[in-house]
């Protein structure tokens, strides 16, 4: 049985953009939007002023080596964790990820990023798991999530093009591999 999302009450025509202003543009861009939107009680809400973190679409690629029973991660510094005030290490173990270049399909980005960050190439199909907005309350970032297999024995230990990333292999249980495989074949249909 395929799960389906419920219909939403509002659509693209139920809001208006009054103005935009770029507040900062460096490694990332931050805009301020003035907008109004429909409310659930039939009222118009706004005008509102909201800051929006502008991002290009990106990919995340989960790497699994079923023969070695390991997952492959990269370790890299993340400024958001450093600024969080939690005292946690700002070096995170993450799946491969990266921003789509202009005109580049997400599948092309996924293969490019796997090689740039790990020095590895997928040796199995690139499976699209889902596409989602990780933080839609303040960013337009859209993530394409993929799963693929690699031969982790070919890993140089530090990322191919980006030498500031360390490659790590983690032993995973057969249960985790089975879960990963089942996620790859599961489908969720979103009804419009």
Res 188: pLDDT: 39
| Count, residues in the chain | 192
Res 153: pLDDT: 84
d(CA 83, CA 80): 5
> Could you list the mean pLDDT of each consecutive 10-residue stretch along the chain, which spans 192 residues?
79 94 95 95 93 96 88 86 91 90 96 91 94 95 95 72 57 58 46 32
Domain boundaries, the chain: 3-54, 58-189
Res 140: pLDDT: 96
Kind and range of the H or E element at 96?
Answer: strand 96-99
| CATH number belonging to the domain at 58-189, selected among 2.60.120.10, 1.10.10.10, 3.90.79.10, 3.40.640.10 | 3.90.79.10
Res 190: pLDDT: 37
d(CA 45, CA 48): 8
Range 41-69 burial, b when 16+ CB lie within 10 A, else e: eeeeebeeeeebeebebbbbbbbbbeeeb
Helix (H, G, I), strand (E, B) or coil at 13: helix
């Amino acid at each position: 049985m395929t799960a389906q999302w419920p219909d939403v009450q509002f659509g693209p025509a139920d809001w208006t953009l009054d103005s935009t202003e770029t507040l900062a543009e460096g490694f990332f861009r931050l805009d301020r939007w003035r907008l109004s939107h429909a409310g659930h009680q039939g009222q118009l809400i706004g005008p509102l002023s909201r800051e929006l973190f502008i991002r290009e679409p990106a990919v995340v690629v989960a790497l699994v080596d079923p023969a070695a029973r390991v997952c492959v991660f990269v370790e890299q510094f993340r400024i958001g964790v450093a600024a969080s005030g939690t005292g946690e290490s700002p070096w995170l173990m993450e799946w491969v990820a990266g921003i789509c270049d202009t005109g580049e399909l997400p599948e092309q980005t996924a293969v490019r990023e796997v090689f740039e960050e790990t020095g590895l190439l997928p040796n199995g199909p690139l499976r699209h798991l889902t596409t989602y907005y990780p933080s839609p309350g303040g960013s337009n970032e859209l993530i394409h999530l993929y799963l693929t297999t690699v031969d982790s024995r070919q890993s140089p230990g530090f990322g191919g093009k980006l030498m500031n990333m360390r490659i790590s292999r983690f032993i995973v249980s057969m249960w985790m591999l089975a879960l990963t495989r089942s996620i790859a074949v599961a489908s969720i249909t979103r009804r419009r």
